[in-house]
Amino acid sequence: MEVPRSVGELTETLRQGSYLADRGLATALFVALSLNRPILLEGEVGVGKTEVAKVMASVFGRELIRLQCYEGIDTNQALYEWDYARQMLHIRALSEQQVADSDAVDKLFGPKFLLERPLLKAVRAGDQAVLLIDEIDRADDEFEAFLLEVLSDFQISIPEIGTVKAESPPLVVLTSNRTRELHDALKRRCLYHWIGYPAAEREVDIVLIREPGVPAALARKVVAAVQRLRELDLAKPPGVAETIDWARTLAFLGASDLDAGYAQDTLGAVVKDRDDLEVVRDNLAEITSGAS
Ligand SMILES: Nc1ncnc2c1ncn2[C@@H]1O[C@H](COP(=O)(O)OP(=O)(O)OP(=O)(O)O)[C@@H](O)[C@H]1O
Ligand SMILES: [Mg+2]
């Protein structure tokens, strides 16, 4: 699909992919897409950071290439690796005379034995892809510096093969849960958008678009209760994902309303920390007395 012509058009396209973006997020994505800028999404847990990259890929018919970051991730896992196992098999199959021939050895480091990892794949796919660099805050400093290099020119050199460059870069979406502060240099390269919890009305719409089987009145009650939970000082405040889960669970059990009894029985869908459970149990009546 073509790049959208306006923020409104992009918002509508995302909606068709069952994602509701507010104006700020839609604008940031529109600019990222139009001006080829990476976009860094930070926000609370479960507010749709990862999902928006997936939906962008799906609505624009692009391939989603995901680089999941974790502690200790290194460049090999992100760029490319040599397929040692196949190289070994190949060497074994060679005759002594062939091994002496330097050509045969060179071939061992040719395209046939190269394993593409997400970044190389994304550079090759260019604007046919959305590159999701998920949870960048989990990777360490050196990896971040290395990413910065790749993002600045979308060019990867493989000594044995040559340089691969993206004609037009992929849409790059980075996400972070802010377990640590990212470097200014990386932030400077990216557009930045903070995704907060949605307002109640939008959250109801999100529940209904994701779980059309949930009665609207129940969705409103659940959202009101979740928004109250977020005001409590919980260790793990519920994200939008939990709201959806809770509504789905209640609807599945046949609840048409959220009362303290139903809430008590289904709390595990929304509160996932033992200490939090105790705080919430003590306040259940108040939490569930929300709008209907
Ligand atoms: N604006 C939205 N429109 C539609 N669905 C949404 C929206 N926000 C969140 N969701 C839903 O919430 C779920 C969780 O979102 P997602 O996994 O993207 O959160 P996240 O911010 O990446 O969380 P984490 O920090 O845990 O990785 C999604 O699967 C999606 O169903
Ligand atoms: Mg995520």
Give me ligand 1 centre to Cα 206, in Å. Answer: 10
- Residue 142 CB: number of other CB atoms within 10 A? 10
Atom of ligand 1 nearest to the CA of 14: 3
> Which of 51, 66, 205, 243 most suits a substitution to test ligand 1, by most atoms within 8 Å of the C-beta?
51
Question: Residue 216: pLDDT above 60?
Answer: yes
Q: Say what the pLDDT of residue 96 is.
A: 76
Q: Alpha carbon of 171 to those of 109, 168, 174: distances in Å?
A: 30, 9, 10
| Spatial distance between the Cα atoms of 135 and 56, rounded to a whole number of angstroms | 18
Q: Establish how many alpha carbons lie within 13 A of residue 115's alpha carbon, considering only the half-sphere containing its beta carbon.
A: 12
Ligand nearest to the CA of 42: 1
Q: Helices 240-252 and 216-231, interaxial angle, to 10°?
A: 140
Predicted confidence at residue 139, as pLDDT, reads: 96
Atom of ligand 1 nearest to the CA of 175: 22
Minimum CA distance residue for ligand 1 atom 25: 45
In sequence order, what are the residues at sequence separation of 6 or more whose Cβ sits closer than 8 angstroms to the Cβ of residue 228?
286, 287, 290
pLDDT of residue 292: 47
Q: CA 221 to CA 218: how far, in whole Å? A: 5
Ligand 2 center–CA 146 separation, angstroms: 22
Average pLDDT estimate for 109-135: 95
Q: What pLDDT, on a 0 to 100 scale, did the predictor assign at position 225?
A: 96
Helix, coil or strand: residue 95: coil
d(CA 39, CA 121): 19
% of the chain at pLDDT higher than 90? 79
Question: In 3-state terms, what secondary structure has residue 140?
Answer: coil
Question: What does the pLDDT average to over 233-239?
Answer: 94
- Please report the pLDDT score of residue 6 as a whole number: 97
Q: Whose CA is nearest to atom 9 of ligand 1?
A: 48
Check residue 250 and report its DSSP letter: H
Write out the two tokens for 45: 């847990």
Tell me the per-residue pLDDT of 153-197, one tens digit each, with 9 for 90 and over.
Answer: 899 989 888 999 998 999 999 999 998 999 999 999 999 999 999
Q: Could you say which ligand is closest to the alpha carbon of residue 240? A: 1
**Contact (Cβ atoms closer than 8 angstroms) between residue 175 and residue 41:** yes
Locate tokens 């005759």: which residue?
A: 95
Cα–Cα dist 163/247, whole Å: 51
Q: Whose CA is nearest to atom 6 of ligand 1?
A: 48
Interior CA angle at 275 toward 271 and 281, to 5°? 60
- Which atom of ligand 1 lies at the shortest distance from residue 44's CA? 25
Which of 12, 47, 133, 202 best tests ligand 1's pocket when mutated (most atoms within 8 Å of CB)?
47
Q: Which residues neighbour 98 within 8 Å (Cβ) at sequence distance 6 or greater?
A: 104
**Section 68-72 average pLDDT:** 96
Convert the pLDDT of each residue in 42-65 to its tens digit.
999 999 999 999 999 999 999 999
Atom of ligand 1 nearest to the CA of 21: 1
For residue 112, the tally of other CB atoms under 10 A from its CB is 11
pTM of the model: 0.92
CA of 147 to the centre of ligand 1 (A): 24
